[in-house]
Amino acid sequence: MSELPKILHVEDDPDIREIALMALEVVGGLDVDQCASGADALERAPGIAPGLLLLDVMMPGMSGDETLTALRKMPQFADTPAIFMTAKAQLSEVDRLKQLGALDVITKPFDPMTLADQILKIWQSR
Pick between residue 15 and residue 79 the one whose CB is nearest to other proteins. 15
User: Applying CB under 8 A, does 1 fall inside the site for other proteins?
Assistant: no
Which position among 110, 117, 118, 120 is part of the footprint of other proteins (CB under 8 A)?
110
User: Applying CB under 8 A, does 72 fall inside the site for other proteins?
Assistant: no
- 124, 83 in Cβ contact below 8 A? no
User: Applying CB under 8 A, does 23 fall inside the site for other proteins?
Assistant: yes
User: Applying CB under 8 A, does 108 fall inside the site for other proteins?
Assistant: yes
Using a CB cutoff of 8 Å and minimum separation of 24, what contacts does 12-17 make? 12/36, 12/37, 12/56, 12/59, 12/60, 13/56, 16/56, 16/108
The enclosing H or E element of 119 equals: helix 115-124
Report, in Å, the least distance between residue 92 CB and other proteins: 6
User: Applying CB under 8 A, does 19 fall inside the site for other proteins?
Assistant: yes
